[in-house]
Structure 1
Amino acid sequence: MTAGLDRAAELIRSASALLVCAGAGMGVDSGLPDFRGDHGFWRAYPPYARLGLRFAELADPVHFADDPELAWGFYGHRLGLYRRTTPHRGFDLLRKWGAAKPGGVRVFTSNVDGQFQRAGFGGVAEAHGSIHHLQCLRPCGADIWPADDVEVTVDPETMRARPPLPACPHCGGLARPNILMFGDFAWLPERTDVQLAELREWRRAQRDVAVVELGAGTAVPTVRRQAELASAANAALVRINPREPEIRHGRGVSLPLGALEALTSLDARVS
């Protein structure tokens, strides 16, 4: 492990820019659930275990039309949870490392929780959207707006939202989070597309980028694919994952650790 940490620190220290690629495991040390498997999801949300509802079933836009109180119960609870959560110290370490580099730091994440922005990062590309932004369910147009003023009251026993539910300011119909869900054909990607375009432009301007991937599993490989593509030219990939740390063809360094533990251990070597 010591050799791996030393090699990872050297990759980060010698790079001119830093790209952070983060999955759900990044938030575990902040107290957020990663929804790993049905049982992991049910441990986080016991009412859904009683109902036999899986994460993939709840994260389906059809519920907003068929049972909006159920849909907004799930997403309203998550919105409140993410607002109350303080990002762990590992976020600050990544931001510090990036601030010391000529090319700075950028983030690519599948997380919708807004934790990187809350930790002070700019240049965040949210591949699956953000729970802190809303869109019309229909949708009646292409507008995406902040959820800053939205408060959803959720019954903790039934996990159902109590009216009034968030509404579209244009047509008055139901609003939904601007999140890419399973089987989602009505998600408005424009906000995310702008973020991704900015990330691509930044990448083209960088010659020597170190990629730090954190908490990204293989079940939804969006983040791992991005990390591997971004590090393909120089193999400067640091994969931090306690369960699935393997790197194909030895193209980088794998650290079988949680995010905060790994970042804290690396900081003593990077700084």
Structure 2
Amino acid sequence: MNDADLARAAGWLSQADGLLVTAGAGMGIDSGLPDFRGPGGFWGVYPALGRARIAFEEIANPAAFARDPRLAWGFYGHRLDLYRRTEPHAGFRQLLALGERLPGGAFVFTSNVDGQFQKAGFPAGRVCEVHGSIHHLQCAAGCCDAIWPADGFVPDVDAAACRLRNDMPHCPHCGGLARPNILMFGDWQWVERRSAGQQVALADWLAAVDRPLCIEIGAGNAIPTVRRFSERHGWRLLRINPDEFRVPDPARGIGLAAGGRAGIAQLCAAPG
């Protein structure tokens, strides 16, 4: 993006009355979180799954909890521990500060399940996690629609084997196995009540603002949930992505070929 585009984006920000932040997996890369795009990348992080030729779509699947729950919880337990230990990069707080300058504030729509926006200071009531959250649990057998925090579960994972060593979490209602409250592949048992409530709050916020600037970070085309949402909502769109940065309407959108942290920093430094 050239200086003229940066100035144009900064001008949009000055005219906006709200900030709609939409984010995919690329948002966390600058915080050190792994990128699962492609089997090579995923198996590079989880070599035990690579040796067994288990793809991301197979382990991130409710069938994995039925077939081999210690392996499934080895994968999700490792991720839960990683996300708890990871500090959000500076771009998160820069977005928070941008939103605080606008009358309507900021609202986040994300496919990420890591809780990084809340950890960076975004109010929980202003975050919509469309695919759920790893920090919440539900019954794997679907005995009820209860959702509860995962705070009491501290996973002990054998990283070399990708297997959970300690006790697996259980449903407090039926005593059966618990699983993350995340929408997985081939998932008909996901309890979407929490996410549905967040989507209602987001719809209310969108109805209350007239000129929300949408800043999309790290959302790809492979699973286009976030990109489609960005293109349907927002008064103007700034798409930050190192590879898939093109926008459908250049009159109403700008594409910035950059990673999340660098792109946000460029916007914050632009005159306007």
TM-score (norm 1): 0.96
User: What is the match of residue 130 of structure 2?
Assistant: 127
The structural deviation recorded for 1:57 is: 1.2
Q: Secondary structure at the match of 2:249?
A: helix
The structural deviation recorded for 1:2 is: 2.0
Does residue 242 in structure 1 map to residue 227 in structure 2? no
User: What is the match of residue 217 of structure 2?
Assistant: 214
Q: Structure 2 vs 1, CA of residues 17 and 270 (structure 1 numbering), >3 Å: closer, same or farther?
A: farther
Correspondences of 1:185-200 after superposition (within 5 Å):
185-200=188-203
The structural deviation recorded for 1:175 is: 0.1
Check whether the contact 1:12–1:270 (CA below 8 A) recurs between aligned residues. Answer: no
- Measured in 2, the distance between the counterparts of 1:95 and 1:270 equals 19
The structural deviation recorded for 1:47 is: 2.2
241-250 or 120-129, which deviates more: 241-250
- Measured in 2, the distance between the counterparts of 1:222 and 1:42 equals 24
User: What is the match of residue 45 of structure 1?
Assistant: 46
User: What is the match of residue 11 of structure 2?
Assistant: 10
User: What is the match of residue 141 of structure 2?
Assistant: 138
The structural deviation recorded for 1:248 is: 1.1
The structural deviation recorded for 1:239 is: 0.2
The structural deviation recorded for 1:34 is: 2.3
Q: Secondary structure at the match of 1:248?
A: coil
- Matched residue pairs, number? 268
User: What is the match of residue 37 of structure 2?
Assistant: 36
Deviations 1:158-214 (A, max 9, x none): 101124101001111000000000000000000000000000011011111100000
Correspondences of 1:135-214 after superposition (within 5 Å):
135-214=138-217
User: What is the match of residue 59 of structure 2?
Assistant: 58
127-136 or 30-39, which deviates more: 30-39
- Measured in 1, the distance between the counterparts of 2:271 and 2:175 equals 52
The structural deviation recorded for 1:4 is: 2.2
The structural deviation recorded for 1:19 is: 0.2
Q: Secondary structure at the match of 2:220?
A: coil
The structural deviation recorded for 1:270 is: 6.1
Question: Percent of aligned positions with the same letter in both sequences?
Answer: 54
Check whether the contact 2:131–2:195 (CA below 8 A) recurs between aligned residues. Answer: yes
Check whether the contact 1:110–1:126 (CA below 8 A) recurs between aligned residues. Answer: yes
RMSD over aligned Cα atoms: 1.1
The structural deviation recorded for 1:265 is: 1.1
- Measured in 1, the distance between the counterparts of 2:224 and 2:271 equals 28
User: What is the match of residue 268 of structure 1?
Assistant: 269
Check whether the contact 2:47–2:160 (CA below 8 A) recurs between aligned residues. Answer: no
Q: Structure 2 vs 1, CA of residues 245 and 139 (structure 1 numbering), >3 Å: closer, same or farther?
A: same
The structural deviation recorded for 1:40 is: 1.3
Structure 2 residue ranges without an equivalent (≥5): none
Deviations 1:36-85 (A, max 9, x none): 11111122222222222111111111011111001100000000000000
